Amino acid sequence: MEPSLDTRTRILSTARELFHGRSYADVGVKEICSIAKVPKGSFYHFFPSKQDLAMAVIDDMAEDWAHGFVAEAFDRDLPPLERLDYMIDAAYYWQKAAKDIEGRMPGCLFGNLALEVSTRDDVLRAKLHAVFQKASARFHETLDEAVEAGVLAPLNTEATAQAMLAYLEGVILLAKTRNDPEVVRILGPAIKTLRIELAAEN
């Protein structure tokens, strides 16, 4: 019916894998095409430019992410603080699985892209920023719930949520640099100790 959609999807998922496993600059349009078995003409039929492809890849990944293990980790049926552990666990197993298959820890696609492109492509930077905003919102909800449930002393939940996201990204960065997912398992759980207090307004 829609072989076009198929082609587009094939480009998208190939690009996603390659960008994640290597980097944006290191993967060329030609390579994506040859692996996805799509001629160049078709590529530029679906995506006006490599940058547009990157935007689509980010959207695609963010979508999967939000509906996949992140949705599970932030499951409202779990006690709020356990969701944080679940999140760390998920990150660990994902990175470990990837390393077992590919031999290398790919890290976080968003973090990778953010550091690579954000000084020279404001459009992509803004998109990545939006993804991080959304991710931090999940932490934010969780923390609010934890405070409301009385399992966490009141604190600046918004800032702490951002701190937690930063910590997660930092841990993955360190783990990737060591090419060792165990770093995530060891350092990860400390995410729960991060606190930014409410500004004193007395």
Partner DNA sequence: GGTTGACTAGACCGACTGGTCTACTATACT
Partner DNA sequence: AGTATAGTAGACCAGTCGGTCTAGTCAACC
Distance between CA 176 and CA 170 in Å, rounded?
Answer: 10
Of a copy of itself, DNA, none, which one does residue 13 interact with (CB within 5 to 8 Å by kind)? Answer: none
Rule CB under 7 A: say whether 91 interacts with DNA.
no
Rule CB under 7 A: say whether 49 interacts with DNA.
yes
Please give the DSSP secondary-structure letter assigned to residue 152: S
Of a copy of itself, DNA, none, which one does residue 99 interact with (CB within 5 to 8 Å by kind)? Answer: none
Distance between CA 188 and CA 171 in Å, rounded?
Answer: 7
Of a copy of itself, DNA, none, which one does residue 27 interact with (CB within 5 to 8 Å by kind)? Answer: DNA
End-to-end alpha-carbon separation of the chain, Å?
66
Least separation in angstroms between residue 27's CB and a copy of itself is 10
Could you tell me which residues come within 8 angstroms of residue 191 by beta carbon, excluding any fewer than 6 positions away? 84, 87, 88, 164, 167, 168, 171
90 with 72: CB under 8 angstroms? yes
Closest by Cα among 169, 180, 172, 164 to 80: 164
Rule CB under 8 A: say whether 104 interacts with a copy of itself.
yes
Tokens of 107: 């890290």
Distance between CA 118 and CA 77 in Å, rounded?
Answer: 37
CB nearer to a copy of itself: pick between 10 and 99: 99
Rule CB under 8 A: say whether 162 interacts with a copy of itself.
yes
Rule CB under 8 A: say whether 198 interacts with a copy of itself.
no
Count of chain residues binding DNA (CB under 7 A): 24
Of DNA, a copy of itself, none, which one does residue 45 interact with (CB within 5 to 8 Å by kind)? Answer: DNA
Please give the DSSP secondary-structure letter assigned to residue 61: H
Distance between CA 95 and CA 182 in Å, rounded?
Answer: 9
Rule CB under 7 A: say whether 136 interacts with DNA.
no
Under the rule (CB under 7 A), what is the footprint of DNA?
1-7, 27-31, 38-42, 44-46, 48-51
Under the rule (CB under 8 A), what is the footprint of a copy of itself?
21-23, 25-26, 104-107, 111-112, 114-120, 125, 128-129, 132, 159-160, 162-163, 165-171, 173-174, 176-179, 183, 186-187, 189-190, 193-196
